[in-house]
């Protein structure tokens, strides 16, 4: 059964590892080949562990998405996720920061990987503020704006849900966090951090607004609302970028080879897509009632970590463990709840 969903990812992994072996062999024989194979495998595992909550959130959007745009996300989205967000987007960032052409950025990545890594890493302050603000809005909107009849961590979720009576409270909370964190930064980075965070907020408003503007009415007889394809597609791609780019920067701790990083993170991205399809088609979120809440708590935790990264270094393994911890606990609580239900 699982082979139906993961066969494509497994095939991609085999091809990616074969390419990694060839790159390693060509650069330094057997020792280099084994080293690169290990790095690619580690990057793939780290990407899956860091992005599992991304897959759950993807599934929550896709289950209400019209069928045509769902297929487009699962086909076009894979290409954008593997190639666009993990190769092209970092190149664009380097080109903008270094004020060079995109082709010059490609040449820098190929011939001066250490300098490319330095320039890309220097964007961490901006990326952390932008991604943290966007992800914070995603998580807060889920808990504040959506009317819900059940709660997982009710001691926290009920008060958050009551805040929904205050107009635009999510924006106010995130803007406050941006200001407070910026005060801990050196003076030369404070304005940059706040501006990048404001653009993250603006991006969320635009993408969420497009989704609401183009939302289809769906089945009026049953009251089921089908999300607009284009708006949800854009929402998911920006969400993926917010999740992935921090991982791209972290990957340079293991390798400065752009091909090696793309192969490793690409493997992770493929498995995240397979997990998304599996959860949508098998109704996993409905079967495990707290899993969705666990994923959004993991997103809020990731947003907090991204806000704090410019102040204190937090290892990627800690980020992955916190996200996995929320989802694992939510899954366990869901299983316990299901066991308490009366039998058929």
Which residues make beta-bridge pairs with 219? 224
Please report the pLDDT score of residue 344 as a whole number: 53
- Residue 226 predicted with pLDDT over 50: no
- Residue 171 predicted with pLDDT over 80: yes
Buried-exposed string 316-339: b where 16+ CB fall within 10 A, e elsewhere: beebbebbbebbeebeebbeeeee
Query: pLDDT band at 178, cuts 50/70/90?
Result: very high
Higher pLDDT, 344 or 53: 53
Please report the pLDDT score of residue 195 as a whole number: 93
Query: pLDDT band at 147, cuts 50/70/90?
Result: low
Tokens of 163: 């805040």
pLDDT single digits (tens) 298-326: 889 888 988 988 888 877 777 777 887 88
Distances (CA, A) of 290 to 114, 232, 294, 318: 44, 23, 6, 23
- Residue 268 predicted with pLDDT over 50: yes
Q: Is 309 helix (H, G, I), strand (E, B) or coil?
A: coil
Please report the pLDDT score of residue 222 as a whole number: 40
- Residue 139 predicted with pLDDT over 70: yes
Return the sign of the alpha-carbon dihedral for residues 69, 72, 78, 80. Answer: negative
- Residue 251 predicted with pLDDT over 80: no
Is residue 137 within 8 Å of residue 204, measured between CB atoms?
yes
Please report the pLDDT score of residue 343 as a whole number: 56
What average pLDDT does range 149-176 have in this prediction? 86
- What is the Cα–Cα distance from 199 to 187, expressed in whole angstroms? 20
Distances (CA, A) of 331 to 41, 290, 322, 334, 338: 26, 7, 14, 5, 11
Please report the pLDDT score of residue 194 as a whole number: 93
What average pLDDT does range 81-108 have in this prediction? 80
- What does the domain layout of the chain look like in residue ranges? 3-340
Please report the pLDDT score of residue 46 as a whole number: 76
């Amino acid at each position: 059964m699982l082979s139906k969903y993961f066969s494509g990812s497994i095939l991609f992994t085999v091809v990616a590892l074969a390419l990694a072996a060839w790159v390693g062999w060509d650069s330094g024989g057997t020792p280099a080949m084994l080293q690169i194979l290990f790095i690619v495998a580690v990057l793939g595992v780290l990407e899956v562990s860091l992005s599992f909550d991304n897959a759950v959130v993807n599934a929550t959007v896709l289950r209400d998405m019209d069928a045509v745009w769902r297929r487009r996300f699962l086909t076009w989205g894979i290409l954008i996720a593997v190639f666009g967000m993990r190769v092209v987007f970092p190149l664009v960032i380097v080109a903008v920061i270094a004020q060079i052409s995109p082709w010059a950025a490609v040449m820098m990545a190929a011939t001066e990987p250490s300098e490319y890594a330095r320039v890309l890493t220097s964007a961490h302050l901006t990326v952390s503020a932008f991604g943290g603000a966007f992800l914070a809005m995603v998580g807060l909107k889920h808990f504040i704006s959506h009317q819900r009849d059940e709660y997982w961590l009710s001691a926290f979720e009920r008060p958050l849900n009551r805040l929904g009576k205050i107009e635009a409270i999510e924006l106010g909370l995130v803007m406050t966090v941006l200001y407070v964190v910026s005060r801990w930064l050196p003076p030369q980075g404070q304005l940059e951090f706040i501006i990048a965070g404001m653009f993250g907020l603006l991006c969320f408003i635009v993408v969420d607004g497009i989704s609401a503007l183009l939302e289809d009415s769906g089945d009026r007889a049953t009251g089921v609302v089908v999300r607009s394809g284009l708006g949800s597609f854009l929402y998911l791609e920006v969400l993926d970028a917010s999740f992935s780019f921090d991982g791209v920067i972290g990957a340079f701790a293991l390798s400065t080879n752009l091909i090696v990083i793309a192969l490793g993170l690409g493997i992770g991205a493929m498995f995240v897509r397979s997990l998304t399809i599996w959860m949508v088609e098998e109704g996993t979120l409905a079967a495990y009632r707290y899993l969705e809440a666990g994923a959004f708590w993991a997103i809020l935790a990731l947003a907090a970590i991204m806000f704090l990264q410019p102040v204190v270094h937090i290892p990627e393994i800690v980020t992955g463990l916190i996200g996995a911890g929320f989802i694992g606990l939510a899954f366990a609580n869901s299983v316990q709840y299901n066991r308490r239900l009366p039998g058929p």
